[in-house]
Homo-oligomer: A and B are copies of this chain.
Amino acid sequence: IRESYDAAQGWIVVTIIGAAIGVNAAFLNIITEWLADIKLGHCKTAFYLNENFCCWGEDNGCDDWQKWTGFSPINYLIYILFAILFACTSATLVKSYAPYAAGSGISEIKCIIAGFVMKGFLGFWTLVIKSLALPLAIGSGLSVGKEGPSVHYAVCTGNVISRLFAKYRRNASKTREILSACAAAGVAVAFGSPIGGVLFSLEEMSSYFPLKTMWRSYFCALVATAVLSAMNPFRTGQLVMFQVHYDRSWHFFEILFFILLGIFGGLYGAFVMKWNLRVQAFRKKYLTNYAILEATLLAAATAIVCYPNSFLRIDMTESMEILFLECEGAEDYQGLCERDHRFRNVVSLLLATVIRIFFVIISYGCKVPAGIFVPSMAIGASFGRSVGIIVQALHEANPQSPFFAACLPDVPCITPGTYAFLGAAAALSGIMHITVSVVVIMFELTGALTYILPTMIVVGVTKAVSELFGKGGIADRMIWFSGFPFLDNKEDHNLGVPVSHAMIKDVTSIPTNGMTLQQIEGLLAEDNYQGFPIVEDEHSKILVGYIGRTELRYAVDRAKRERTLSPQAKCTFAPPPSADVTTPGTDIITPGLARMDSFNTIGFAEPSTTASASSSNFINFSRYVDTTPVSAHPRLPLETVMELFRKIGPRVILIEYHGKLMGLVTVKDCLKYQFKVEAMEEVANNGQHSG
């Protein structure tokens, strides 16, 4: 029973986590919608209802839902005041209780899943504050989305819950597997797109994604989405706010315009990334101490500028829903479908696009929970819709043109809503540099099956365009910007030097015999290394193993607890005689079971049976020594070593030449070297240009 419980534990944990994420997402959805609507008016029958629920079953508002006053300038003022209130509360919460809850969190989670440790980033308080501050930030009308934060609170939930189980408290690698699954669930509930979530986790979040993790992610996303669906926050039976169905198919000549949308997506991504990073640099330098004020002013500015534009005034998801719709049979917001209003609408939409881009650039990264998915999609949608309206106008002006020959006469031919849809896909792909996940997410959002090829074309063009402007989406750029140690597996490192150039040569190693307890404790106290190679003796430097700092600390403490030891006690780190190497029939080897996982955990072999350690002047630490550390030849190219770090995931790689320890490298050493080279190249290039 115990065994099967152990096997099932992983699934139980994932189920609990998924359910928690789903419940949280449902509440956040309801609160967010209410906050967004309360800025415009209130429900007479029950103040806690938003417009949709207040006017259940009725289109275009009802009498129960009242604007705050009948006089619009005062409404405008109330709108601004609410926005300021929400933003200020959100920023204060973040600043006072959980500074890590600011921003989107995707970059940091990427690093954490890759093995980087950030204490508290996934803690309980971050979870609580992110969940509270997120609806406020979105409700304030800032140009921020909920998807990044959604991933963050999902991963926090996973971290907090998995800590309750001993199995995951001990095993960092298993926990990271859970975190990957949570990231999938986070996107799944944010977009109502379970498969899209899994693919996002695969494409963007995880550097290593074995099938087992995929299956975990699948399950976690499924549970979260099912719970969300059962709670049915929108009371429509749908997972997302907007679900459209396109009746008409597309025509081949439209591909020309689709390519245009794709190019827009790529340019948008490159432009926003470039300027946003500059704003971030400015913010880091000057605004660190004025986070609350900054968020408040931003919200005020956003509210003041956006209210007059009918597409910017409403919530971004709502505006996307409106823009995606076909004209036939749907309610008509602001005369979007009327021929007479076309010019006004196009101007209004293009204005909305430009203003929103500006606000995204200055808002993303401010100290409230803030994602960039939905704002990007909204920008793409408004641009796409305006292109769609223009194409429609062109067609109606020249119905006989051979270019439009594929259109049937007397039937609407162009569906501007689909352009909005494709524009949203392009912008999302452009900013995040993801492809397959975008297609699946858009597909799951709208069920636009017939539009899968156009979506793929648009996203493909976007991808090609954005690659011209450098590698990596905004999450990767933020990682470089923040200087986290992260080995990007998308980048081709091309340094052309052996690892010996990057390695640390004067390594503090421990001889197998001869060191006293005092010396060991001295090493532990004074040095800042993560661990120590074990060598036969200081002179020969023949490598025999490696001991992690934590393991050594633990071993020393335990030895001291078990019996009194003189500080002069001799410590031995000699591995058991390697009889097995020459006589392979024997079975004295400790099982190498699940070794890949244990690289990052404190995995102890069972106590060695040699009783020679009983004397108080002699301590045997052999069983804490990793006798088969990952080692490499000094002339192995640095790229290959980085490959090893990524794929095998050790904390350190020892450099061994003909059995002798020559040095060691960590991920940080590799990156340090890489940055040094890149900086030198830049200097050289600048010299050339100016010379």
Q: Interface on A for B, CB 8 Å cutoff?
A: 194-195, 198-199, 202-203, 210-212, 214-215, 218-219, 222, 225-226, 229-230, 237-238, 243, 249, 252, 435-436, 439-440, 443-444, 446-447, 449-450, 452-453, 456-457, 460, 463, 489-490, 492, 494-498, 500-501, 505, 542-543, 578, 580-581, 584, 589, 591-596, 627-628, 631-640, 643-644, 647-648, 656-660, 662
Contact = CB atoms under 8 A, between A and B. Distances in A.
A603 to B, nearest CB: 12
28 contacts: A194-B456, A195-B436, A195-B439, A195-B452, A195-B456, A203-B211, A210-B489, A211-B489, A214-B435, A215-B435, A218-B435, A225-B456, A237-B450, A447-B447, A494-B594, A497-B589, A501-B580, A501-B584, A578-B657, A581-B635, A589-B635, A595-B637, A595-B639, A596-B639, A596-B643, A628-B632, A644-B648, A658-B659
B640 A633 contact: no
Contacts of A210: 489
A684 B614 CA distance: 40
Nearest to A222: B456
Contacts of A639: 592-596
Given A446-B449, A505-B584, A658-B659, 18 more contacts: A195-B436, A195-B439, A202-B202, A203-B211, A211-B490, A222-B456, A225-B453, A230-B252, A237-B249, A444-B449, A447-B450, A496-B589, A542-B659, A581-B657, A589-B635, A627-B635, A647-B648, A659-B660
A225 B454 CA distance: 11
Copies of this chain, tallied across the complex: 2
B581 A500 contact: yes
B636 A214 contact: no
A505 to B, nearest CB: 8
Which 7 A-B pairs have CB atoms at the shortest separation, nearest pair first? Answer: A592-B637, A659-B659, A447-B449, A496-B591, A658-B659, A628-B633, A647-B647
A581 B460 contact: no
Contact of A635 (B443, B489, B578): B578
Nearest to A585: B501
A658 B542 contact: yes
Nearest to A252: B230
Contact of A593 (B435, B496, B592, B636): B496
A186 to B, nearest CB: 17
B203 A635 contact: no
Contacts of A631: 633
Contact of A662 (B214, B453, B543, B581): B581
Task: Name, among A215, A463, A631, A632, the residue most crowded by chain B CB atoms within 10 Å (CB to CB).
Answer: A215
Task: Name, among A198, A460, A584, the residue most crowded by chain B CB atoms within 10 Å (CB to CB).
Answer: A584
A638 to B, nearest CB: 7
A13 to B, nearest CB: 16
A436 B194 CA distance: 10
Contacts of A202: 202
Contact of A498 (B226, B238, B589, B635): B589
B218 A456 contact: yes
A500 B218 CA distance: 38
B218 A436 contact: yes
Contacts of A589: 496-498, 635
A456 B18 CA distance: 14
A247 to B, nearest CB: 10
Contacts of A447: 447, 449-450
A309 to B, nearest CB: 31
A195 B662 CA distance: 48
Contacts of A580: 498, 500-501, 634-635
A203 B194 contact: no
Contacts of A658: 542-543, 659
A628 B632 CA distance: 8
A408 B349 CA distance: 42
A581 B463 contact: no
B633 A627 contact: yes
A447 B245 CA distance: 10
B584 A640 contact: no
Contact of A452 (B194, B595, B644): B194
Contacts of A489: 210-211
A594 B495 CA distance: 10
B214 A578 contact: no
Nearest to A642: B596
A203 B214 CA distance: 9
Contacts of A659: 542, 656-660
Contacts of A594: 492, 494, 639
A442 to B, nearest CB: 11
